[in-house]
Each structure stands twice: as C-alpha cells, then as structure tokens.
C-alpha cells in the first residue's frame, strides 16, 4: 500500500501506513519509512514544534545519519486532531548481529527528558560513525541497536504520564505483584482519572504496550542476548539503575549477570553517581512491562536483560522549588544549564551499555564465577527480605 492509498482509504490526511508487524523480516527489512516520516513532519511542523519537538529533532538526526540509521513507523496514536507516530530506529543488522542493545524512552509521556537525553547520545553516536572506522565496524555483525525513542507519543503531546486513554503503560502488563505493592503508586484499577491506572481487567491491551511487546518478541526471537535499557525520570534525588523485579522481592534468576555488570561499570567508571540495585528495594508495583517481558522470555529460554534508568529529578525540584508549580517541572529540569547537564550526564553510561552488550561474552560470569556473583548479589541486595 502506498502512502497515497492509505490516505485515501483512511481519510486521515498526513497519516502514512504503519509497518505490517510482526516478524523480523517485516520490521527489519531494507525499506524504511524515512520519506513518509519526513513528509508527515513537514506537513505538521507547527503543531509538532509546539507539542512534540523531539520528532523534529529526530528527523534532523536521521538526516545526519546518511542512511546508516533506519526508521520504521510501528503505529499511530491519535490525539485531538493529529496522529502521532511510534517510531523504531535501527542501526546495524538486527538479523546478523550477535547481540542487541534495545533502548526505549518516554513510556511515560511527561518524562520526555529521557527522549531528549537519548537523542543527545544518538547525536554523538551518529557523528562518530561518520569518521571512526572502528566504531562503525562494530555494527557489521557484533552488535545492533534497536531504539524506541518515544513509546508514548500521545502522553508526550498531552504532557501526561499515562497514554491518551489514561492508562499507565508501566502498570499495564498482565502481571500482578506477589507482595503488597504501594497503595495507588503500585497500580490501580479504580479510575483513569487517578494516576497509575492499569486499565480494565481482561480487555485488549493498549497500542503502546502491544507495539513494545512485538518489538521485544521480535528481537529476542533468534536467541540472541538482548540488553534493554528503558529511560525514565522522576523518582528520587539520585540517578538510579534498576534491575527487575518490581512484582516481588525475590532475586531475578539472572542476578549473577546483573552483579557482574554492576562491578564492570564501577571498575570502569569509579566516580559515577548512579545507584545500581533491584527496583523492589524501592517499591513494588503491578503490571511492570519489564517484569512481564523478562518472565515471558525466561519461559521461552531466551535471554532478555532489562534495566531501567530512572533519572532522579527531585534534585532539580529541590534546587528550584518553583518547578513544583508545573507538572512537567517535576520530571524535567527547566533551567537551561541544568538541562544541558542532563544531556551530557548519561553519555558515558550509554556508551558503556553499547560496549557491554557488544562484549557480553567477555564479562558474563561462568561456572564458579557465576556462583560467586550470585552470592555477592544475595548478600548486597536481598538480606533484609
């Protein structure tokens, strides 16, 4: 179907067709949607500049990548008078690559600082690809990058945590907490007018969730190790790296790998400022998408290693309490020099995640070392339970 056919059929101007999901061939074939995305952005520039300027920034990045980065439109989310794309970016050959790094952001729309930090990293990545042969060659077969920079574009448009239907996508997965989660924050089914709404029980999942699940299913289908970094903001004073689970306090069965990754990170970046620990130490929730995807992969004998980067925005609020007056200010630094600091603050971490994914077999613990890492993790993270 051509873009013109789609417009004629749906009678929705400026909405190109979505990619037909969901096999590795269709998501990651050679044809990309760059031209369709460019046309869409051109036609809707004024609205996008006001509500989702990140899409315009993304368009510029794709232009700079000189075709090295591919883009697909996975689906469209309609909000008010506009349809907003859920884009998927890939770099490298997803079918051939030994390992995959997946990165997502703005699963909660109001936490758009995550998308901006991710785009800032992609900017330096793309520039480096243009002149660093060694950097470029890693994408031949060693590693592929799969990026969903805006999982919840409708929430970004409306500056809400939830999607346009009022559903919190990270409380929406079909998994319930085993121990009692925090009241409301842990997910609730009372009303979409309250935050942390999980959606009605037993109805079709929200589009944003289905699309994310399809991508995770696709990239884990061929038994490659996938490290998945999901970027959020808003909890606490410090930047945190959370490993699963959120639905229970017991250790995840991959805990030895996570401990090895934490030690690797700390040896290489001894002055870092991140807290690295299981999310369950902070709070428990229902419906965490990464808990659900990890459990699903585990049953199928596939290795998905999710990590959540939670950028601690309470610090921004502490330094500038007037931000409390703005809802988005709770999740977003509003002073320019602080915004610039967040843009550069996570570049090292993202470079590290790419290298760690590419070299997974070099540091993944084996044999006795696996057992030792497990013991360290239990002692450090799970003693009090």
Distance CA 288, CA 252 (A): 14
144, 91 contact by CB (below 8 A): yes
Nearest to 243 by CA among 276, 278, 274, 273: 278
Nearer to Zn ion, 90 or 160 (CB): 160
* Spatial separation of the C-alpha atoms in residues 150 and 157, rounded to whole Å: 11
Least separation in angstroms between CB 235 and Zn ion: 8
CB of 103 to Zn ion, least distance (A): 15
Under the binding rule (CB under 5 A), the answer on residue 248 touching Zn ion is no
Which of 169/255 has CB closer to Zn ion? 169
Residues 6+ apart with CB under 8 A from 111: 105, 161, 231, 232, 233, 234, 331, 332
**By the 8 A CB rule, do 155 and 106 touch?**
yes
Segment near Zn ion (CB under 5 A), from 79-87, 102-110, 216-224, 255-263? 102-110
CB of residue 76 to Zn ion, shortest distance in Å: 23
Window 187-226: contact mask with Zn ion (x via CB under 5 A): ----------------------------------------
Q: How far is the CB of 277 from Zn ion (least distance, A)?
A: 17
Q: What are phi and psi of 27, to 5 degrees?
A: -70, -40
End-to-end alpha-carbon separation of the chain, Å?
56
Is the CB of 108 or the CB of 286 nearer to Zn ion?
108
For Zn ion, the closer CB: 218 or 279: 279
**Which of these segments, 106-114, 123-131, 252-260, 358-366, binds Zn ion (CB under 5 A)?**
106-114
CA 336 distance to own-chain centroid = 24
Shortest Å, Cβ 321 to Zn ion: 22
Contact (CB, 8 A) for 200 and 317: no
Choices 20-28, 61-69, 107-115, 177-185; region in contact with Zn ion by CB under 5 A: 107-115
Tell me: does residue 112 bind Zn ion (CB under 5 A): no
Nearest distance in Å: CB 306, Zn ion: 14
Nearest distance, CB of residue 149 and Zn ion, angstroms: 15
Quick count: other Cβ atoms within 10 Å of Cβ 133? 7
Q: Which of 51, 171, 172, 232 binds Zn ion (CB under 5 A)?
A: 232
Residue number closest to Zn ion, CB atom: 232
Length of the chain in residues, anyone?
Answer: 385
* Residue whose CB is less far from Zn ion, 16 or 155: 155
Per CB under 5 A, the segment of 110-118, 270-278, 283-291, 358-366 that binds Zn ion is 110-118
User: In the structure encoding, which two tokens stand for residue 295, read together?
Assistant: 């459990």
> d(Cα 101, Cα 354) in Å, to the nearest integer?
6
Provide the minimum distance between the beta carbon of 111 and Zn ion in the complex, in angstroms, as a whole number.
5
Contact 258/252 with Cβ under 8 angstroms? yes
108 touches Zn ion by CB under 5 A? yes
* Distance of alpha carbon 305 from alpha carbon 230, whole angstroms: 11
**Given the complex with Zn ion, which of 108 and 248 has the nearer CB atom?**
108
Least gap, CB of 328 to Zn ion (angstroms) = 13
Q: C-alpha angle 367/368/369, rounded to 5°?
A: 90
CB under 5 A: which stretch of 111-119, 143-151, 288-296, 373-381 binds Zn ion? 111-119
List of residues contacting Zn ion (CB under 5 A): 108, 111, 232
């Amino acid at each position: 179907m051509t873009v013109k056919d789609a417009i004629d059929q749906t009678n929705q101007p400026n909405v190109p067709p979505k990619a037909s999901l969901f096999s590795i061939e269709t998501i990651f074939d050679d044809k990309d949607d760059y031209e369709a995305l460019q046309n869409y952005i051109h036609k809707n520039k004024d609205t996008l500049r006001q509500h989702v300027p990140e899409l315009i920034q993304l368009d510029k990045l794709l232009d700079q990548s000189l075709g090295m980065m591919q883009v697909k439109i996975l689906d469209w989310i309609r909000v008010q008078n506009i349809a907003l794309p859920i884009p998927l970016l890939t770099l490298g050959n997803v079918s051939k690559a030994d390992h995959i790094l997946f990165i997502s952001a703005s699963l909660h729309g109001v936490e758009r600082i995550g998308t901006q930090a991710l785009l800032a990293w992609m900017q330096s990545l793309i520039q480096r690809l243009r002149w660093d042969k060694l950097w470029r060659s890693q994408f031949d077969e060693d590693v592929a990058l799969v990026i969903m920079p805006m999982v919840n574009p409708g929430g970004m448009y409306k500056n809400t945590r939830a999607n346009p239907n009022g559903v919190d996508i990270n409380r929406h997965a079909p998994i319930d907490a085993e121990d009692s989660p925090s009241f409301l924050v842990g997910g609730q089914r009372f009303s979409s007018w309250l935050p942390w709404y999980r959606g009605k029980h037993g109805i079709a999942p929200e589009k944003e969730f289905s699309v994310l699940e399809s991508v995770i299913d696709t990239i884990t289908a061929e038994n490659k190790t996938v490290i998945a970094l999901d970027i959020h903001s808003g909890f606490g004073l410090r930047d945190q790296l959370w490993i699963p689970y959120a639905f229970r306090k017991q250790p995840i069965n991959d805990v030895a790998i996570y401990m090895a990754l934490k030690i690797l990170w700390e040896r290489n970046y001894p002055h870092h400022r991140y807290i690295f620990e299981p999310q369950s130490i902070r709070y428990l929730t229902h419906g965490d998408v990464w808990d659900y995807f990890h459990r699903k992969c585990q049953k199928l004998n596939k290795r998905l290693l999710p990590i959540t980067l939670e950028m601690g925005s309470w610090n921004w609020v502490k330094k500038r309490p007037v931000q409390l007056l703005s809802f988005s200010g709770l999740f977003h630094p509003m002073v320019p020099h602080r915004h610039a600091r967040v843009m550069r603050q996570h570049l090292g971490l993202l470079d590290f995640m790419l290298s760690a994914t590419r070299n997974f077999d070099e540091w993944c613990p084996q044999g006795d070392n696996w057992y030792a890492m497990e013991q360290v993790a239990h002692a450090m993270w799970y003693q009090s339970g």
